[in-house]
Structure 1
Amino acid sequence: MNSKHVMIDTDWLEAHLNDPKLRLLDATVIMKQDENGVDISSGKEEYDKEHIPGAVFTDLLHELSDTKAPLPLTASSHEEFAQTISDLGVGEGTYVVVYDRGAVVGAPFSASDWASRLWWQLRLEGFDEVYVLAGGLPKWKEEGRPLTDEQGSYPKATFTGQRRPELLASKEDIKNAMSDTSTVIINCLSPAEFKGETDAYPRNGHIPNSKNVFFGDVTDPETKGVPDKEKLHELFDPVGALDTSKKVITYCGGGIAATWNALALFTLGREDVAIYDGSMVEWSSDESLPLEVGE
């Protein structure tokens, strides 16, 4: 398989901040976890305090999600997405770099999976010139690079992409895939969550026949991007995800971390990975659907 370039580093971004074709998007969502559960809120307040110069805030939680859907962070319709992303200046003749502030506030550094969520949504809606900043804002700040509180903006554009429905999986798709040997289902949560040893969801466990590749392991500790090809093969070969004769669907808790594993697979040439958007939040809430515990 051919490798695909999708991560960019801080040196490259700083050198291209004034490129008129660049659309730099801050995709931060604030997630806090404590004994009372998970709280998710917009990252706009943090963006207003400081961000990379020129960046515009992109509201994944409210403006790029279907707020009428029963589950939070459900991908919006193509028409709504196209309108919002056009207003942000993304369209023909531009390219996008996405970053965030990390997955969970107060947690050790992990994958930039809010950024990968927007990367996936752009690809879902037919836009390919999109890249993710390795390490996101935490790495940018660690290196002492410039920050600002001035609001960024770009001229309105016309987004012309067409939706790729094959990159989005539904509950029905998963039900069919459970018994389909030509489909690999990957659970991207921690081993403890996969085994059903936590109480993160209405019911514990994993979707039958799914394999576990923890998204937290799919990060290079130095670059803060995806690991090298050798490491990725170690992670994904055993579960069959690199067999191009098979379809791959990734899922997690709510369709966020799953996009990081999809991005990692994309770098190995798997451009066809689908995301189960409802993930465990939807699946575990339906008592009629099976779950397995243990390995």
Structure 2
Amino acid sequence: MSNVPLIVSTEWLAERLDDPKLRLIDATTFLKPPEGGRYYNVWSGQEAYDEGHIPGAVYADLLNNLSDPDSEFTFTVPSRERFTKKMSELGVGDDDTYVVVYDQGNAIVGASVIASDWASRLAWQLQYEGYDNVAVLDGGFVKWREDGRPVSTEPGSYPKATFKGERRPELLATKEDVKDALDDENVILLNSLSEADFNGETDTYARSGHIPGSVNVFFGNLSDPETKELHNEEQLRDTFEQVGALDENKKVITYCGSGIAATWNALILNKLGQQNVSMYDGSLTEWTADPSLPLDTVKKDK
């Protein structure tokens, strides 16, 4: 099967669970807000996968296997060799297969955020390395279970693959790219974090605030908390049009804290037809660590 939709429903996936060309991947990772310190506590979703997952799925560890182990920043894109080796071992890469990625819950433990941004992170990495036949499951494992669909504790496996395709550097933005964008009216910097983060009311990162000139669309507001599915296209389109992100004459650079939530917004922009999108991998973790780089905050009226 080729040309899968960017986002698929649980019904769509259920109808294809036995398709030998399907490669189903659980990309669960967990974050918990910091207690008395900066940055989040982060841990692998391997245990959650072991306790129950969609039948046939294999587990991809974004934290320990699919990030650069030598980077000072968490979740930095790994070398192509490291990424493609792991994907090949999981059975991903051949031309005649397609991938569906999902994750198992909220982006932040204890928060009411509905978004499959761990899944979108892996989907983005696959696209970055040249594998485009990938979809994200709308509503993830939470929606799958709520729909009464089967769950398994049996580990999945696929035949080893040969990862093909070429890296697409235009999908990744660097710190230098963002610095250049500060004075470029043809580039929209899209902050994907909460309004409080954007305003500078939190202290998760080395410094608080947002990159100057940014607009804000919180990634956690794009899905319906009741249905767990994305809002309808009209509502999504209105959200991004309000900040100018669907202007076909402009480039969009999405960012967040560590390049996770930003991939969710990038995915939705792609779904809405905006193809000129890159993601700032270092995001605020890297930007705020450099005291020479500017930040803005927003003061609310009392």
Under TM normalisation by the shorter chain, which class is it? over 0.9
Instruction: Tell me if 1:202 matches 2:206.
Output: yes
By how many angstroms is 1:30 displaced? 1.6
Match of 1:11 in 2: 11
**What is the deviation of 1:34?**
4.9
The Cα shift of 1:184 comes to 0.5
Cα distance, 1:143 vs structure 2: 2.1
Query: Alpha-carbon deviations, 1:36-80, whole Å to 9, x = none?
Result: 452101111111111111000001111111111110100112222
Matches within 5 A, 1:173-252: 173-252=177-256
CA distance in 1, matches of 2:223, 2:152: 28
| Deviation by residue 1:120-147 (Cα, 9 ceiling, x = unmatched) | 1111111111011111111111222111
Cα deviation for residue 224 of structure 1 reads: 2.7
Give the Cα–Cα distance (whole angstroms) in 2 for the partners of residues 42 and 135 of structure 1.
20
| 1:162 equivalenced with 2:166 (yes/no) | yes
Does residue 96 (structure 1) correspond to residue 99 (structure 2)? The answer is yes
Opposite residue 17 of structure 1, the aligned amino acid is L
TM-score of the superposed pair, with normalisation by structure 1: 0.95
User: Given the alignment of the two structures, is residue 129 of structure 1 paired with residue 152 of structure 2, yes or no?
Assistant: no
Aligned to 1:275: 279
Q: Give, in angstroms, the shift of residue 227 of structure 1.
A: 2.3
The alpha-carbon deviation at position 244 of structure 1 amounts to 1.2
Determine the C-alpha separation between the residues in 2 that align with 1:106 and 1:277: 25
Cα distance in 2 for partners of 1:132, 1:90 equals: 15
Measure how far apart 1:245 and its partner are: 1.1
Letter in 2 for 1:6: L
Worse overlay, 264-273 or 254-263: 264-273
Is residue 2:77 matched to residue 1:75? yes
Unaligned runs of at least 5 residues, structure 1? none
Q: Which moved more, 1:7-16 or 1:162-171?
A: 7-16
Q: CA RMSD in A?
A: 1.4
How many pairs were matched up?
292
Decide whether the 8 Å contact of 2:46 with 2:61 is kept in 1. yes
Say which of 59, 62, 67 aligns to 1:60: 62
Match of 1:111 in 2: 115
Q: CA deviation at 1:271?
A: 2.5
Equivalent pairs: percent with the same residue? 58
1:21 aligned partner, one-letter code: K
- Shift in Å, 1:109: 4.3
In structure 2, do the counterparts of structure 1 residues 122 and 133 end up closer, same or farther at CA, with 3 Å as the change threshold? same
- Structure 2: state its 5+ residue gaps: none
Q: Is the 2:67–2:75 Cα contact (8 Å) retained in structure 1?
A: yes
Partner letter of residue 8 of structure 2? I
Deviation by residue 1:66-103 (Cα, 9 ceiling, x = unmatched): 11111010011222211111111012210000000121
Q: Secondary structure at the match of 1:258?
A: helix
Q: Secondary structure at the match of 1:185?
A: strand
* Structure 2 Cα separation of the partners of residues 211 and 107 of structure 1: 23
Q: Is the 8 A contact 2:129 2:165 kept in 1?
A: yes
The aligned residue for residue 262 of structure 1 is: 266
Deviations 1:190-239 (A, max 9, x none): 11110101111111110001111111112234553332221122111122
Q: Contact conserved, 2:250 with 2:276, CA < 8 A, in 1?
A: no
SS in 2 for 1:121: helix
Distance across 1 between alignment mates of 2:197 and 2:175: 20
Q: Helix, strand or coil for the counterpart of 1:255?
A: coil
- CA distance, structure 1, for counterparts of residue 129 and residue 276 of structure 2: 13
Contact 1:66–1:74 (Cα < 8 Å) also in 2? yes
Which residue pairs with 2:175 in the alignment?
A: 171
Aligned to 2:43: 41
Q: What residue in structure 2 maps to residue 294 of structure 1?
A: 298
Q: Distance in 2 between matches of 1:140 and 1:228?
A: 19
Cα displacement string for residues 221-280 of structure 1 (whole angstroms, at most 9, x for unaligned residues)? 455333222112211112221111111100001110000100110111122310000111
Distance 1:17 1:189 in 2: 34
1:206 maps to amino acid: H
Contact 1:134 1:223 in 2 (8 A): no
- The DSSP-based 3-state class of the residue aligned with 1:241 is coil
* Separation in 1, partners of 2:88, 2:76: 20
